[in-house]
Amino acid sequence: MSSSEVFDIEKFGNSTVNQLQLKIMSAFAADMIGITDETELAWYVARKVVSKLGFKDCVVYLCRDEPGYLRQVATIGEKNPVADVIINPLKIAVGNGVTGRVAQSRKAMIIDDLETCEFYIPDVELARSEVCVPIMCTDQVFGVIDSEDKRKNYFCQNHLEILSFVAALMAAKLELIQKNWNLFKKTGIYRKTSSVIG
């Protein structure tokens, strides 16, 4: 089964689709233990999780360096032609566009038709639909995971729920990375986040 067929329940049946999604998420949970850098985590999520779940486009935005702004940190699709290159990396103020509104409201969003969305910010390629979920743990928003598609009305509740689950796992790891970094700044001791699970 190819990654583009992950959501094709009619073709493969609910049980097979759920098993594949569970396998991808289990691998993510195991591999995440060894990731100690937020940029590495963002690229891993885009390439090894979201793309394998069947999404053709994914952009991971993180709120770092400049509070109040989202920066594109990792992508798959048209924005990522090779290696870790991002074409036209955007910086979006929290509250602007779909991604900024999701970060501000802390609520996931599906836009069925971007042509009628007055706050949509076009990127490299015009899209027709979009799903965006916040990456948040406790009360902190770390960023968002965003996906667009050329087809109108493409994304469904299942897409939103699976991305929300990925974002929750990612947020927990980002919180550990941040705690480790704060500890390092305070004491000069850096613990590998792989030794801290929770």
Lowest mean per-residue pLDDT among 18-22, 164-168, 194-198: 194-198
Cα 17 to Cα 109, 110, 112, 190, distances in angstroms: 23, 22, 23, 40
Q: How many domains does the chain have?
A: 1
Q: Is 108 inside any structural domain?
A: yes
Angle in degrees, 0-180, between the axes of helices 14-32 and 157-187, rounded to the nearest 10: 10
Whole-number percent of the chain with pLDDT over 90: 65
Give 66-102 pLDDT, tens digit per residue: 889 999 999 998 888 888 999 989 999 999 999 999 9
Whole-model pTM: value is: 0.86
Mean pLDDT of 18-41: 91
CATH number of residue 153's parent domain: 3.30.450.40
Specify if 126 maps to a domain: yes
* Contacts by 105-109, CB closer than 8 A, 24 or more apart: 106/134, 106/136, 106/141, 107/134, 108/132, 108/133, 108/134, 108/160, 108/163, 108/164
Asked if residue 159 is part of any domain, the answer here is yes
Residue 75 belongs to what domain range?
3-183
